Structure 1
């Protein structure tokens, strides 16, 4: 059995809070005006073969740090400063050939981008030299200082957090955040400030349980496995995992190893998943992984901070994703997503309640930042933040201004429309 206190610190970069009463968090948000003139382009990215939407496709404005990502419906919104309209955009995603298009191809709405599937027989490509997956992972960690940003930077990101009970959205939080990103070769933690945010929660649908996610944007930021190796890929824990090669693939038209990993000790919740490692540079460019929570009691102790009397609360699925982007030969955190599913069992109720919590964050812009004035001029949030209710923002169609955001998927858009109607009826 693992030493439990240290084990909890490693496995729980974020925690759930379940209250049997309404909890009011106090947090000030810094709202700043934006006078940047921009052009907005909207559309969808689909599979060229069958027309199905492609989610998590990354759109990057070349020769800039501006980027965004498609939602689960394959839809995107990309806001570009007016003086950059002669630029090009590269669209890339795992399993598809990347495509670069001029901005003149894009329309203000209904732009359709078709990507072709990667069909090359990659297993025969002579570029793949690694024969030992464990040694490849070790090399990946050893090269962290060479492959990832070595200077501090200031990132602008969009964060969304949704809570569903069954099929109904009961809570929706969105925020544009500023991240003071410390170098990957530094032990300093990243700092976060909320630039603009809005949230609405329908507490009437929560069965007297006000379910809240503690951590907010930090939940997705801590998925940066190469910055926060202590949570999953601690170098001293390499021997705690089993590794094997899966079929290689391509990401951004670059040959990529796929390494399956799984913790050997299954006495407590354990990690397993896939690491996507660039074949030329041994850089981690993507990871999809999970935490096995078959041991309900251990999982509940780890992830449930507080719960009502007469109930049992435990997670049933915990899944994570992190993607990295490259700029001038250096890689950095670009996208993080966590999907958490929970069950609440009541002693005197026949049916249980099921909740699904999704949180995701995409870096939409960044710049090198050598000073520390920014930290002195903003209100930094703490890693245990609970996002604050602020319904009013949903009534403003220009709320986000020039900031790039993740387009809301259909179910979220329906929830936003309902919020707007409630505001209009007041």
Structure 2
């Protein structure tokens, strides 16, 4: 039997360390048919940026996510009059009419929502029963119909804190029903671009397999067996730590930690589970401190024989949105950090591979199954499938995740090098 972490590694997360030496589609909408809103989301008390907050159009499936600096950009069709919503874990959701939003310079202050002990009604005290209830209710809580998803995906590679690769794409995915575990999600790249400096990667080239497939694989409501199966309850300690508000929905917070006596690369983290219907609203998890010593073979698929590689951390986050009574995938994020060291070399090199995907639109009516020949495969290298950065207005009317200043600066530097090489 494969371990849970082993599944993630085997089927999606593959890092290839290779010794060095070894057509865009037109955008679909006209700019004058949309309104663009830009700004920053901050904590109302501290005035500090709120990372990865959700931005969405009320009553629709249109949305995006703020970056790590709280900055956002949302593109909305002019014929849609819904209010703009802003939400984040632990904050009160707010809605702003579109006629009160500016094209740029919006500062959105979210107020922390603290769940007091007097408000907490614990309907189930046993965390195992909460998780088992969440599993039993997946087919009821999540979409039982297929959907077509538009999403924005970004993948970055850093070497010793310097970006050596940034690749981005607008994705289209066939999202299979949550009550059918035998139908897989399929994803294809609509338009994409990259900036990279392979020469900077010392004596190895880092390749990341399966990129755009990963967000759908860590959709634990669709693929619960990747973490939660019968072995889960014997391999982890569980603790109900309280309740928190997520998108104005009261959620149990259930902590899980790998047992010390389990010698496998397993996880620790938190499930955020709706108090009323036991839907998994979000989850964050990492390979545990007990699992890290066993993780290298799971994540590193190819490396020079004499190179030593240690996994430093592997973090994941997945969030769902609720429309009506139906939950659907909204956002995922991952980070894999590892250290490479050659024998007889004094210094090592540290790498960080980060990915994120925001679902920017969703359609239950115009369903088109993606052909196998078009679908992105878990063995493919995303940066090999997209072209170099060219056009500043590349994304047209597609919603994206605004890059942080450090990523934006890296793109400019990498592009300057690319231009000099041409």
Q: TM-score range by the shorter chain?
A: over 0.9
How far does residue 313 in structure 1 lie from its aligned partner after superposition? Answer: 1.2
Displacement of 1:32 after TM fit? 4.0
Q: Which runs of 5 or more structure 1 residues have no equivalent in the other structure?
A: 24-28
Match in the other structure for 1:162: 156
Give the deviation of 1:294 after TM superposition.
5.1
Per the alignment, residue 132 of structure 1 pairs with 126
The C-alpha deviation readout for 1:146-198, integer Å capped at 9, x for no partner, is 00010000000111010111121011110111110000011211001100111
CA distance in 1, matches of 2:274, 2:311: 33
Tell me the SS of whatever aligns to 1:412: helix
Cα distance in 2 for residues equivalent to 1:138 and 1:116 = 33
Q: Which residue of 2 aligns with 1:15?
A: 14
- 2:136 maps to which residue? 142
TM-score by length of 1: 0.92
1:327 Cα deviation (Å)? 1.1
Q: Alpha-carbon deviation of 1:293?
A: 5.5
Unaligned runs of 5+ in 2: none
Q: Give the distance between the partners of 2:204 and 2:274, measured in 1 at CA.
A: 45
**TM alignment of 1:35-114, pairs within 5 A:** 35-36=29-30, 37-84=33-80, 86-114=81-109
CA distance in 2, matches of 1:306, 1:96: 43
The separation in 1 between residues aligned to 2:3 and 2:302, in whole angstroms, is 18
Per the TM alignment, residue 17 of structure 1 is displaced from its structure 2 partner at its CA by 1.3
Deviation digits for residues 3-29 of structure 1, max 9, x if unmatched?
568873365442211111356xxxxx6
- SS of residue matched to 1:124: coil
Q: Distance in 2 between matches of 1:5 and 1:65?
A: 35
Shift of residue 33, structure 1, vs aligned partner: 3.4
Task: Return the match for 1:353 from 349, 352, 357.
Answer: 349
Tell me the CA shift for residue 416 of structure 1.
1.5
Distance 2:2 2:371 in 1: 38
Structure 1: how far apart are the matches of 2:372 and 2:299? 34
Within 5 Å, give how 1:24-423 maps onto structure 2.
31-36=25-30, 37-84=33-80, 86-121=81-116, 123-187=117-181, 188-235=183-230, 237-264=232-259, 265-292=261-288, 298-369=294-365, 371-372=367-368, 374-376=369-371, 379-389=374-384, 393-423=388-418
Is the contact between residue 335 and residue 363 of structure 1 (CA under 8 Å) also seen in structure 2? Answer: yes
How much has 1:210 moved relative to structure 2?
Answer: 0.5
Q: Is the 8 A contact 1:177 1:193 kept in 2?
A: yes
SS of the residue 2:263 aligns to: coil
Give the Å deviation of 1:296: 5.8
Q: Distance in 1 between matches of 2:413 and 2:139?
A: 48
Count the aligned residue pairs.
416
Structure 1 contact 215–386 (Cα < 8 Å) conserved: yes
Q: 1:161 to 1:236 in 2, by over 3 A?
A: same
- 8 A Cα contact 2:336 2:352, kept in partner: yes
Per the TM alignment, residue 389 of structure 1 is displaced from its structure 2 partner at its CA by 4.5
> Given that residues 176 and 185 in structure 2 are in contact (C-alpha distance below 8 angstroms), is that contact kept between their aligned partners in structure 1?
yes
Contact 2:268–2:285 (8 Å) recurs in 1 = yes
Distance in structure 2 (CA, Å) of the matches to 1:98 and 1:248: 16
Distance 2:85 2:5 in 1: 41
Of 105-114 and 155-164, the range deviating more from structure 2: 105-114
Alpha-carbon distance change, 283 to 296 in structure 1, aligned in 2, over 3 angstroms = closer
